[in-house]
Chains A and B, each alone.
Chain A
Amino acid sequence: MSIQREDVEKIARLAKLQINEEQLETVASELSNILGLVDQLQAVNTDNIEPMAHPTDAVQILRADQVTETNNREAFQKIAPATENGLYLVPKVIE
């Protein structure tokens, strides 16, 4: 599977990463190499094999519905890049 520049541009947009014009070719070829390595998988017969998302067969343990958290806004916002009146600030969101 070889990856084209346009593919790189598209996934970079999805992943919110900038790839410069001059890096596009390199990244495309690196990704092609990785997917080349991965293409070995296609040769394996996996009919009727249930995909495995977790290493163990454990099931989820649910939490009781209790409020256990208290307001810690000051500590969290001390490490925030931009806040005002308790809000996180970002460039204007246009819907």
Chain B
Amino acid sequence: MQWETVIGLEIHAQLTTQSKIFSGSSTTFGADANTQASAVDLAMPGTLPVPNEEAFRKAIMFGLAIDADINKRSVFDRKNYFYPDLPKGYQTTQLDHPIVGAGHVEIQLKDGSKKSIRIHHAHLEEDAGKSLHEDFHGMSGIDLNRAGTPLIEIVTEPDMNTAEEAVAFARKLHGLVSSIGICDGEMSQGSLRFDVNISIRPVGEEKLGTRTETKNLNSFRFMEKAIAHEVERQIELIEDGGEVKQETRLYDGDKDISRSMRSKEEANDYRYFPCPDLLPVVFDDSYIEAIRETLPELPDVKQARFIEQLGLSEYDAGILSAENTMANFFEATAKTCNDSKLAANWIMGELSARLNSEDKSISNIDLKAEQLGSLISRIKDGTVSSSGAKKVFDALWIGEDDNVDKIIEAKGLKQVSDTGALEAIVDEVLAGMTDQIEQYKSADDKKRKKLMGGFMGPLMKASKGQGNPKLFNQILAKKLNS
């Protein structure tokens, strides 16, 4: 049987506020356990929540960025369940009246096709603390620093059908929330967490199959693997005559295995009701419009500009515009060297490869856009060859020096572009290559082009790699064809 996969995502994004959603505690990552847990965060008796305006402002920014309806009146509800990382015994969230209503996000796939993914809604809620399972004499330790960190939970419609689409959406969303500055996007720190709902159905069937939820996927690679793994599991299950159970599953990316979580939902009934400690939150049009004014250029708009104004390909423009840090780096590089295409090539090529291999991101490297820009200028003006430039790039990357010209100088990578000196080298080299010259001269045009390359190696060697290859080529052609 042919199966169709149906995927919906729930994304929890921590909002980059200074203080928590309902208390004045700091949200800084990595502090000592429970040093950022105030009386309110600890649910001390009698304490009460007061919502943070910035969390709403950022949620509204997100809503505007996905072209969603902003609910001018939103309400907090209590979701009741017991868990040690949930101090109040309920999570304050928004059920029936979320701040952000329906919207959509457009994704682009590798084959160039586009697809619009509908967002059902996005609501504000508080994050839970953390349970640490290192051994405390068979006990778990509870750290409530994270409890109360503002989250926006983004819920999509089940509009994706492949892992590629889901990952493209996740990447797009990652770029969007970090570009508009509402989330730092640090997936390894849990700032952005993806839960994937997956079901399968026979192709042509309209009714959705029973879905499972795979929780807390903290990298795109694992998300892709987890989806493939789960789809395969469901197909095998059904084809073996079994049934998919609605459950929450945990995926272990390192071992590529998944297991059913001892589902806290299974026996649960969350008994949602409006939180009586909080009043309805009401905004007017002018408040929302003022936030719209503060929105930076969105990635889609930026992509279009990169294509139209800078002449980039749609693919390059898409990648370079996806995230603000990347886009800013690209624009600064292009500005310095005054060549968008070369800047794009270097960033998409050398820089991206380096980022990937060292698992870094643009925001945590030493290399400055201006340095890369000057390096590209030096390639353009012939000061350094492409291969020499890679050596300069290496030096910049490890922070050997911060000045491109000094590195070129120090490493002796400056190209010789003095025509007289180059001619002397050509003459000297050609003098020892009479056979090859004969061969060249007797060859036809097509073959000549190939044979020409055979002279370049010795020329570069003779110039200790410093001869300008372009000029060598010109001189060589002149001499051989004369």
Contact = CB atoms under 8 A, between A and B. Distances in A.
A60 B282 contact: yes
B477 interface: no
Contacts of B271: 14
Interface in B266-296: 267-269, 271, 274, 276, 278-282
A66 B19 contact: yes
B439 interface: no
Contacts of B36: 69, 71
A95 interface: yes
Contacts of B53: 62-65
Nearest to B131: A93
Contacts of B205: none
Interface stretch (B26-34, B229-237, B425-433): B26-34
B139 A91 contact: yes
Interface string A58-80: 11111111111101110011000
Nearest to A51: B274
23 contacts: A14-B80, A14-B271, A59-B282, A60-B51, A61-B50, A62-B51, A62-B53, A63-B50, A64-B54, A65-B17, A65-B18, A66-B24, A69-B38, A73-B35, A76-B42, A86-B33, A87-B142, A88-B34, A88-B142, A90-B131, A90-B139, A93-B84, A93-B133
A77 B143 CA distance: 12
A15 to B, nearest CB: 9
A86 B34 contact: yes
Given A69-B38, A89-B141, A59 B33 contact: no
Chain A interface size, under 10 / 10 to 19 / 20 to 34 / 35 or more: 35 or more
Interface string A8-46: 000001101000000000000000000000000000000
B250 A95 contact: yes
Contact of B262 (A13, A54, A92, A94): A94
Interface string B35-66: 11111001010000011111110000000000
A53 interface: yes
B140 A93 contact: yes
A84 interface: yes
Interface in B455-473: none
Nearest to B144: A88
Interface of B: 17-19, 23-26, 32-39, 42, 44, 50-56, 75, 80, 82, 84, 131-133, 136, 138-144, 250, 261-262, 267-269, 271, 274, 276, 278-282
Given A67-B19, A85-B141, A95-B262, 6 more contacts: A64-B53, A66-B24, A68-B19, A69-B36, A72-B39, A84-B139
Which of A13, A16, A53, A69 lies at the interface centre, i.e. has the most chain B CB atoms within 10 A of its CB?
A69
A59 B281 contact: yes
Interface of A: 13-14, 16, 53-54, 58-69, 71-73, 76-77, 82, 84-95
A8 B17 CA distance: 43
A69 B267 CA distance: 37
Nearest to A89: B139
Contact of B37 (A53, A68, A73, A95): A73
Nearest to B31: A71
A75 to B, nearest CB: 9
A63 B52 contact: yes
B478 to A, nearest CB: 70
Contacts of B34: 73, 76-77, 86-88
Nearest to A90: B84
A89 B23 CA distance: 23
A44 B267 CA distance: 33
Contacts of A62: 50-53, 56, 281
Contacts of B133: 92-93
A87 B84 CA distance: 12
A94 to B, nearest CB: 6
A16 B142 CA distance: 20
A90 B140 contact: yes
Contacts of B51: 60, 62-63
A79 to B, nearest CB: 9
B18 A67 contact: yes
Nearest to A77: B34
Contacts of A59: 279-282
B24 A92 contact: no
B39 A76 contact: yes
B268 A65 contact: no
A59 B74 CA distance: 10
A89 B136 contact: yes
A90 B33 CA distance: 15
Nearest to A79: B44
Contact of B25 (A53, A67, A93): A67
Contacts of B23: 69
B33 A87 contact: yes
